[in-house]
Amino acid sequence: MTLRHDVVIVGSGLAGLRAALEVAGDADVALVSKVFPTRSHSGAAQGGIGAALGNEEPDSWEWHMYDTVKGGDYLTDQDAAEVLAKDAPRAVYELEHLGVPFNRTSDGRIAQRAFGGHTKNFGEAAIKRACHAADRTGRVILDTLFGEAVKRGIKVYSEYQLMDLVFTDGAASGVVLYEAANGRVHTVGARAVMLATGGFGKVFKTTSNCFANTGDGVYYCYRAGIPLQDMEFVQFHPTGIYELGVLISEAARGEGGILRNRDGRRFMEDYAPTIKDLAPRDMVSRAIVTEIRNGRGIDGRDFVHLDLTHIGRERLAEKLSDISSFVRDYLGIDAATDLIPVSPTCHYMMGGIPTDLDGRVLGAAMDPIPGLYAAGECACVSVHGANRLGCNSLVDLVVFGRRTGKQIRQDLDALQRLEMEGEPAERTVETIHRIKNRGRGERASTLRYELQRVMTEECSVYRTESGLDDALGRLEGLRARYESVTVDSQGTSYNMDLLEAIELESLLGLGETILLSARNRVESRGAHSREDYPERDDENWLKHTLIRKTEKGSEIFYKPVAITRFEPKARTY
């Protein structure tokens, strides 16, 4: 059945919701989400949203911009960082006025706390910049924006899964969706399509990401020949609960938490003497792995301790109540008296679909693709460069989500409704039929686990050429085996087996782009740390990677970094 809307936004996390609110009223906009909208990963964000409000101590957007550029190891496009840092205070006050219940200072202003890599006076000392609602900041913002979307009557396709993007003469003309409740396939025509499908941490075994984060929107762009940018830059958050990967927010260190090795030593003093435990995530993750490799993990094992015991029960309850309950529920320990075992967990994708500052998706010639937009974690504006700072994603979502919505509204008059040629849903229908009717074959869960293992073993915090080559070989084998993937259930209602098998194609495709981009970049920068090339090499590698699928295989090319204010310098903290 063919449906029609002016604008289809796939993804109802904060990026998609914020854009939808900007377009609604002027155009018929539909939001699509494979999970119920408020279950989007944005709702899991804990620690805060960054903005130089200066409520706790003097702050300036220039300092915020500088930290974002330096945190990104100078791969950050500085025009994007300027937009982010300048617009952040307005964006936070807008959320406040919509009703987001931020924590307050004693005189009633929005409270702020310290976060990794955020400093005063261009790196002098840590600064309190993260606005927060205890440790459930994303939850309250998501609920507020979703409430607003409901109020405005925005059409929501909840539990509809994007299966394909439709193009007519190189312009986006619609999407193909699968309705989880009954297995129906729908084609939806649109004058503008926006992707806000979030990250894809599920490529890795240990991750803080939710199950929906399989990167379908990003992969479908790649499959359609659109390049992907900076895919080698994968963020590992230093403090995942050991073995589970469940996140212990950086807010824990923002509130004074300390990382300790087997000797009880605060080892970050050795790696980042100025801001210690509040160094950017790439540095803290490398420090933890280095401690572990040198036998200083707890009992010589592969984790360290996060110590919150000196913070006090009352403050933990006020500021870090969710993570206190996580460690109680998952580990049976009390954060007020016990040390928490932590190790790095895959957390955030700096790379993704290349866009300009207004969310227009860029094609192979780096020119906008008519009718196609993206924002949020699936996109790469590149405001985070080689390493995102904590509390800079939530602000990215509302700043660039809004800008993208504005751009769509502005473009809409000029965007015609294009005829969708042939049978746009054909590929989807055939894929589903093939997977269901194979009779015998491999289960998606087996292949997914092997993919996650390969990626985790060879492409985590540290990488080497031989490891990446080995991983690419193993991945090729998995891709071949994927051709025989099948499911036990023939059901049409919530056939999650089938949907997981389909998502696995995205995970395998994105895994390959990460490995190829990582093997290609023979330097260490931000979250991409090559043991065989330990130095940053600005002369040859101060440039963005783009990877594109062609008939002859994957092709890598480059794009310059926008440098406006801050010349690259050595990165010490």
Ligand X SMILES: Cc1cc2nc3c(=O)[nH]c(=O)nc-3n(C[C@H](O)[C@H](O)[C@H](O)COP(=O)(O)OP(=O)(O)OC[C@H]3O[C@@H](n4cnc5c(N)ncnc54)[C@H](O)[C@@H]3O)c2cc1C
Binding status of residue 307 toward ligand X by CB under 6 A = no
Binding status of residue 165 toward ligand X by CB under 6 A = no
Binding status of residue 377 toward ligand X by CB under 6 A = yes
Binding status of residue 161 toward ligand X by CB under 6 A = yes
58-66, 75-83, 86-94, 389-397 -> range binding ligand X (CB under 6 A):
389-397
Binding status of residue 545 toward ligand X by CB under 6 A = no
Find the binder of ligand X among 55, 76, 173, 197 (CB under 6 A).
197
Would residue 281 show up in a list of annotated catalytic residues for this protein? yes
Question: Measured between alpha carbons, how far is 360 from 533 in angstroms, rounded to an integer?
Answer: 34
Query: To the nearest whole angstrom, how small is the minimum distance from the Cβ of residue 323 to ligand X?
Result: 10
What is the pairing mode between strands 368-374 and 155-158? unpaired
Binding status of residue 88 toward ligand X by CB under 6 A = no
Q: Which of 44/284 has CB closer to ligand X? A: 44
Q: Which of 46/517 has CB closer to ligand X? A: 46
Question: Measured between alpha carbons, how far is 210 from 68 in angstroms, rounded to an integer?
Answer: 26
Binding status of residue 485 toward ligand X by CB under 6 A = no
Region 213-242 residues binding ligand X, contact defined as CB under 6 A: 213, 216-217
Find the binder of ligand X among 117, 227, 341, 376 (CB under 6 A).
376
> Which is the catalytic residue, given 39, 129, 191, 281?
281
**Tokens found for residue 420:** 């969708």
Are 175 and 162 spatial neighbours (Cβ–Cβ below 8 Å)? yes
Which backbone phi and psi does 44 adopt, to 5 degrees? -90, -10
C-alpha distances out from residue 177 to 103, 201, 217, 505, Å = 39, 23, 12, 16
Query: To the nearest whole angstrom, how small is the minimum distance from the Cβ of residue 196 to ligand X?
Result: 5
Q: Which of 248/289 has CB closer to ligand X? A: 248
Binding status of residue 47 toward ligand X by CB under 6 A = yes
Region 249-278 residues binding ligand X, contact defined as CB under 6 A: 249
Question: Measured between alpha carbons, how far is 228 from 242 in angstroms, rounded to an integer?
Answer: 31
Question: Measured between alpha carbons, how far is 493 from 497 in angstroms, rounded to an integer?
Answer: 11
> Exposure of 123 by Cβ count < 10 A (0-12 exposed, 13-18 middle, 19+ buried)?
middle
212 alpha carbon, distance to own chain's centre: 12
Q: Which of 348/573 has CB closer to ligand X? A: 348
Q: Which of 47/117 has CB closer to ligand X? A: 47
C-alpha distances out from residue 296 to 291, 299, 423, Å = 5, 8, 60
Query: To the nearest whole angstrom, how small is the minimum distance from the Cβ of residue 397 to ligand X?
Result: 5
Query: To the nearest whole angstrom, how small is the minimum distance from the Cβ of residue 140 to ligand X?
Result: 11
Find the binder of ligand X among 212, 221, 258, 304 (CB under 6 A).
212
Find the binder of ligand X among 9, 20, 46, 189 (CB under 6 A).
46
Query: To the nearest whole angstrom, how small is the minimum distance from the Cβ of residue 2 to ligand X?
Result: 18
Region 24-43 residues binding ligand X, contact defined as CB under 6 A: 32-35, 37, 40-42
Q: Which of 377/497 has CB closer to ligand X? A: 377
- E-strand ranges in 293-339 read 304-307
Say how many residues touch ligand X, by CB under 6 A.
46
Are 544 and 561 spatial neighbours (Cβ–Cβ below 8 Å)? yes
Query: To the nearest whole angstrom, how small is the minimum distance from the Cβ of residue 215 to ligand X?
Result: 8
Find the binder of ligand X among 19, 85, 131, 247 (CB under 6 A).
247
Question: Measured between alpha carbons, how far is 33 from 299 in angstroms, rounded to an integer?
Answer: 44
Query: Taking the CA of residue 23 as centre, how many other CA atoms within 13 Å lie in the half-sphere pointing to its CB?
Result: 34
Are 118 and 47 spatial neighbours (Cβ–Cβ below 8 Å)? no
How many CB atoms are closer than 10 A to CB 57?
A: 11
101-109, 209-217, 425-433, 554-562 -> range binding ligand X (CB under 6 A):
209-217
Smallest CA-to-CA distance from 403 within 91, 138, 149 is with: 91
Binding status of residue 162 toward ligand X by CB under 6 A = yes
Region 131-150 residues binding ligand X, contact defined as CB under 6 A: 137-138
Q: Which of 126/212 has CB closer to ligand X? A: 212
4-12, 77-85, 331-339, 470-478 -> range binding ligand X (CB under 6 A):
4-12
- E-strand ranges in 196-315 read 228-229, 234-241, 258-260, 304-307
Angle at which helices 61-71 and 78-98 cross, to 10° = 120
- E-strand ranges in 121-270 read 125-131, 155-158, 160-168, 171-179, 184-195, 228-229, 234-241, 258-260
**What's the per-residue H, E or C state across 497-545?**
HHHHHHHHHHHHHHHHHHHHHHHHCCCCECCEEECCECCCCHHHHCEEE
Binding status of residue 393 toward ligand X by CB under 6 A = yes
Binding status of residue 19 toward ligand X by CB under 6 A = no
Residue carrying structure tokens 């930290």: 67
Q: Which of 173/249 has CB closer to ligand X? A: 249
- Measured at the CA of 68, the angle between CA 540 and CA 259, to 5 degrees, comes to 100
Find the binder of ligand X among 44, 298, 514, 561 (CB under 6 A).
44
Find the binder of ligand X among 48, 174, 341, 370 (CB under 6 A).
48
Find the binder of ligand X among 8, 15, 19, 514 (CB under 6 A).
15
Catalytic positions, please? 281
Contacts with ligand X, residue ranges (CB under 6 A): 10-16, 32-35, 37, 40-42, 44-49, 137-138, 161-162, 196-199, 208-209, 212-213, 216-217, 247, 249, 348, 376-378, 391-394, 397
